[in-house]
Amino acid sequence: MSRGLIVICSGLLPLLVWQTGGANEPGVAGPVAPLAQRPPALPADGDRNYQPPPADGAVVELADESLDQFLPVLHNDFSHEVGQAVREDRDVFAGVEAAKVVPMQRYRSTIPGWKFSIVEKPARAGEFRYLRFAWKKNGGTGIMIQFHDLHKTWAMRYHAGRNVFNWEPSKSVAAQLPGDWELVTRDLFADYGAFVLTGMALSPLDGQFALFDHVLLGRSRDDLDKATDAALGRIRLEKIPTGPEREQLWAQLMGANRVQAAAAQRQFLASATSHVEFIREQLTRSDVNTELLKTIQQLIQDLDADDFNVRDRATDALIRLGDAAVDAVQSLVTNAPNDEVHYRAQLILRKLKVNGSAVSEAGKKVRAVRILERAATAEAKALLEKIAAGEYGFDIAADAKAALQRLQKRP
């Protein structure tokens, strides 16, 4: 309980300071020196692996794939402000990964290589006007994304739900929180005038966590639409992959290289109805230890048992199982029925020294679930129902159930 209390207190501190005149910056917990008087920023360890996105085209991806290199760059300007950012492999808007941020936020005012000019009529390399991003919030009352300029500082903000800490200026894009993925497009120049974008803040503010994905700058809305259509596999293929070509694409889709996996997924999505039987064959090839899966499934259920001793024994048993239990336990981090199960899942992963850097087998197989959801044929739905029933392992059953629920809501 003490750990939760510390987090809660840390989260409340900026609110109290803000109401008594705190600095107008992401999560600053008290007055700071003016920008011109601050010492120069120190180099961050994460900068060594980060390559800024090329800005010579009509669209630049600020945050989409390659998050393992990008997220460590967001060091909160070396402050002690609370917040963590990790890669999310299963619940994404586009591609194969999203940024999962725990309150309060992760940010950096001067990200290496970021000098994107926001202008009225972009024409040259590095000039843009429009912003697009996708976000989703779990719990709490607000969510925000912020952008930095060396002269205007953190004066460009957008929020949905409640502006929890009354940071201004900030433009509301929706009165309600995005409980599911929502795509937002804004005219940065019309909203805030000309500026040079040097940094970004991904700000859940409160609640459990927020997801951010597909953060783009574009010269026009049409350019952004083309980029989004490509990312979601909406562009029609001249040739549908079959035979050895499809086998190679599947290997890339299930591989550890997430840039290649995202490219392969786009091709599968663009021709999804042609691959349902192929996906069933690939999933059937997977070796499944049925008895072990049943044991793990029961232990996962026992983490929420009424008896404390049963919960404790299940926790210890899952730790002893090691790698075999990782996928199931990781799914609880985002799908836990209550706070205690969420805590126990995190405890197990810490004991197993799982830091989230590798893509789990479940995280890879979920990519196939997305293709089946896109296909939306009777055969695809039937296969999703089998996956949801656990016939191909319980590790992606919840993902298949969610896909079926989304399909039911479609007109």
Encode pLDDT of 230-241 as tens digits.
999 999 999 999
Residue owning tokens 């936020």: 105
Lowest mean pLDDT among 48-62, 272-286, 349-363: 349-363
The DSSP secondary-structure symbol of 211 reads E
Report the distance separating Cα 301 and Cα 169, nearest Å: 46
Report the distance separating Cα 249 and Cα 252, nearest Å: 5
For residues 204-228, average pLDDT: 97
Amino acid at 256: A
Lowest mean pLDDT among 12-16, 162-166, 403-407: 12-16
Q: Give the start-to-end residue ranges of the domains of the chain.
A: 57-231, 238-411
Report the distance separating Cα 280 and Cα 277, nearest Å: 5
The answer to whether the pTM exceeds 0.85 is no
Lowest mean pLDDT among 51-65, 189-203, 218-232, 350-364: 350-364
Are the C-beta atoms of residues 137 and 210 closer than 8 Å to each other? yes
User: What share of the chain in percent tops pLDDT 70?
Assistant: 86
Report the distance separating Cα 17 and Cα 9, nearest Å: 12
Q: At residue 325, does pLDDT exceed 50?
A: yes
Omega before residue 104 within 30° of 0, cis: yes
Lowest mean pLDDT among 181-185, 278-282, 342-346: 342-346
pLDDT number for residue 317: 93
pLDDT number for residue 83: 93
CATH class label, 57-231 = mainly beta
Q: At residue 226, does pLDDT exceed 80?
A: yes
pLDDT number for residue 323: 67
In a 3-state reduction of DSSP, which class is residue 23? coil
Report the distance separating Cα 260 and Cα 66, nearest Å: 11
Are the C-beta atoms of residues 249 and 267 closer than 8 Å to each other? yes
For residues 81-105, average pLDDT: 94
Report the distance separating Cα 301 and Cα 249, nearest Å: 36
pLDDT number for residue 115: 97
Strand boundaries in 177-321, DSSP class E: 182-187, 195-197, 199-203, 209-218
For residues 3-22, average pLDDT: 34
The DSSP secondary-structure symbol of 102 reads E
pLDDT classification of 287: cutoffs 50, 70, 90: low
Q: At residue 6, does pLDDT exceed 70?
A: no
Per the prediction, the chain carries an average pLDDT of: 86
pLDDT number for residue 199: 97
pLDDT classification of 4: cutoffs 50, 70, 90: very low
Q: At residue 15, does pLDDT exceed 60?
A: no
Write down the number of H helices and E strands in the chain. Answer: 14, 14
Q: pLDDT tens for residues 350-379? A: 887 655 456 777 888 999 999 999 999 999
Residue 310 is encoded by which pair of tokens?
Answer: 């049963």
pLDDT number for residue 23: 41
The DSSP bridge pattern shows strands 209-218 and 130-138 to be antiparallel
For residues 204-232, average pLDDT: 97
In a 3-state reduction of DSSP, which class is residue 18? helix
For residues 19-30, average pLDDT: 44
Torsion angles phi and psi, residue 384, rounded to 5: -60, -40
Lowest mean pLDDT among 132-136, 288-292, 361-365: 288-292
pLDDT classification of 286: cutoffs 50, 70, 90: low
pLDDT number for residue 47: 87
pLDDT number for residue 351: 83
Q: At residue 271, does pLDDT exceed 80?
A: yes
pLDDT number for residue 294: 83
Residue 275 is encoded by which pair of tokens?
Answer: 């691959």
pLDDT classification of 16: cutoffs 50, 70, 90: very low
Report the distance separating Cα 104 and Cα 12, nearest Å: 10
pLDDT classification of 332: cutoffs 50, 70, 90: confident
Q: Which candidate, 147, 137, 109, 103, places its Cα nearest to that of 15? A: 103
For residues 325-343, average pLDDT: 82
